[in-house]
């Protein structure tokens, strides 16, 4: 039985970061985020839009996602009448693109639906673990500062470290980390599409450092370039931004463009599509892991549920949010011997700290469903 969504709250929040996060697509100095709360007669559900402040990582950004949800997605949600989480993507399909905005809406409906049934998101998706090994992503920094950061993460017990790289900032940081921490450290790099195929010889120099993978070296639409690069490198290529759906994953794998897939729910349009991408990877024998986007505890708890699926064979970017947020919107997700516990409560599995949410709120807009005629809806 579907939910009748009576209203949706669009809430902007801004949370201070412990330190600026630098990557090839720009620098985040504070985490502006959009929270979605769907209000139904059976209870509320929460979602989080993972778009960044500016359209640098992807075309989506926080203010744009807010407008798309309010002006284009919610009218279609109302038109669908009583709806299940599985029906959200079809209901919103007429709107081209905007997967992060769509994912946030689906997540909120999914949370409300699972809260009503008393079932956890992990159970709903098919998780088979209660603990998830955690990896961490380290932004670009001067080498001395980078080594200090990696040392802190190694001491904290993280199972894998990822370094952000770009042209002119690749071999030196990798060499420094390897020489300091040895080959026992699971180490990978992420370029966020900063290279071109003409940089293949430079990227091949990374083969000497025993990396777990090179993530998204080329532009997101260059699958053929990635396939050619894969033939020229020993280090496995992982695709991130190129994987926008289960279909895109199947195409990339068939072309030989990757041996590893980073699955981000926001990038593929929601947790249900992320589950389908996972299934494609399992069927194809390709390794997968769960990526992150500087989520608050709301989004990170949901990511842990996804990361507990059996096909996620590598540590993901699921560090506790208090690694990068000075204060979080949920109780802390605690790292213990390099792992995080998968939330087991109903829905996303963690409580929302209403007082903290209120303190960091920058805007609130309540959008009510239009009055339905008698007999309308399912």
Q: pLDDT tier at 24 (50, 70, 90 boundaries)?
A: low
pLDDT surpassing 80 at residue 376: no
Determine the distance from the C-alpha atom of residue 334 to the mean position of all C-alpha atoms in its chain, rounded to a whole number.
19
Query: pTM higher than 0.85 for the full model?
Result: yes
Please report the pLDDT score of residue 265 as a whole number: 98
Q: What are phi and psi of 77, to 5 degrees?
A: -65, -45
Spatial separation of the C-alpha atoms in residues 11 and 28, rounded to whole Å: 20
pLDDT surpassing 80 at residue 377: no
Active site residues: 164, 264
What mean pLDDT do residues 333-345 have?
95
What mean pLDDT do residues 100-114 have?
98
What mean pLDDT do residues 170-191 have?
96
Percent of the chain whose predicted confidence (pLDDT) is above 70: 97
Continuous segment of H or E residues that includes residue 109? helix 99-117
pLDDT surpassing 90 at residue 342: yes
What mean pLDDT do residues 129-143 have?
94
Q: Which string of b and e fits 361-371 if b means at least 16 CB within 10 Å?
A: eeeeeebebee
| Dihedral over alpha carbons 87, 90, 91, 93 (to 10 degrees) | 150
**Tens digit of pLDDT for each residue in 220-265?**
999 999 999 999 999 999 999 999 999 999 999 999 999 999 999 9
Please report the pLDDT score of residue 118 as a whole number: 96
Structural domains present in the chain: 5-118+354-368 (3.30.390.10), 122-341 (3.20.20.120)
pLDDT surpassing 60 at residue 373: no
Burial of 318 (0-12, 13-18, 19+ CB in 10 A): buried
pLDDT surpassing 50 at residue 12: yes
What mean pLDDT do residues 269-278 have?
98
Spatial separation of the C-alpha atoms in residues 255 and 244, rounded to whole Å: 16
pLDDT surpassing 70 at residue 378: no
Please report the pLDDT score of residue 53 as a whole number: 93
């Amino acid at each position: 039985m579907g939910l009748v969504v009576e209203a949706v709250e669009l809430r902007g929040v801004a949370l201070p970061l412990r330190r600026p996060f630098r990557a090839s697509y720009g620098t985040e100095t504070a985490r502006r985020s959009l929270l979605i709360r769907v209000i139904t007669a059976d209870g509320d559900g929460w979602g989080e839009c993972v778009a960044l402040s500016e359209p640098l990582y992807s075309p989506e950004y926080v203010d744009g996602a807010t407008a798309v949800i309010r002006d284009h997605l919610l009218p279609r949600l109302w038109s669908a009448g009583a709806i299940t989480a599985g029906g959200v993507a079809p209901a919103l399909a007429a709107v081209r693109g905007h997967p992060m905005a769509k994912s946030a809406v689906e997540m909120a409906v999914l949370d409300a639906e699972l809260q009503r049934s008393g079932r956890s998101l992990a159970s709903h998706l098919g998780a088979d673990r209660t603990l998830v090994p955690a990896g961490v992503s380290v932004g670009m920094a001067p080498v001395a500062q980078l080594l200090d950061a990696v040392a802190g993460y190694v001491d904290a017990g993280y199972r894998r470290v990822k370094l952000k790289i770009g042209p002119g900032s690749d071999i030196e940081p990798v060499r420094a980390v390897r020489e300091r921490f040895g080959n026992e450290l699971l180490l990978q790099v992420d370029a966020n599409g900063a290279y071109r195929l003409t940089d293949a010889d430079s990227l091949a120099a990374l083969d000497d450092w025993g990396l777990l993978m090179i993530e998204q070296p080329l532009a997101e639409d260059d699958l053929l370039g990635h396939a050619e690069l894969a033939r020229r490198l020993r280090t496995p290529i992982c695709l991130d931004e190129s994987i926008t759906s289960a279909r895109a994953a199947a195409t990339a794998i068939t072309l030989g463009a990757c041996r590893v897939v980073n699955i981000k729910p926001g990038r593929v349009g929601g947790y249900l599509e992320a589950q389908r991408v996972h299934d494609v990877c399992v069927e194809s024998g390709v390794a997968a892991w769960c990526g992150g986007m500087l989520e608050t505890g709301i989004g990170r708890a949901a990511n842990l549920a996804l990361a507990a699926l059996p096909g996620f064979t590598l540590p993901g970017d699921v560090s506790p949010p208090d690694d990068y947020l000075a204060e979080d919107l949920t109780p802390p997700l605690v790292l213990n011997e390099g792992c995080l516990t998968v939330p087991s409560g109903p829905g996303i599995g963690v409580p929302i700290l209403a007082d903290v949410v209120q303190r960091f709120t920058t805007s609130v807009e309540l959008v009510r469903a239009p009055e339905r005629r008698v007999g309308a809806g399912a």
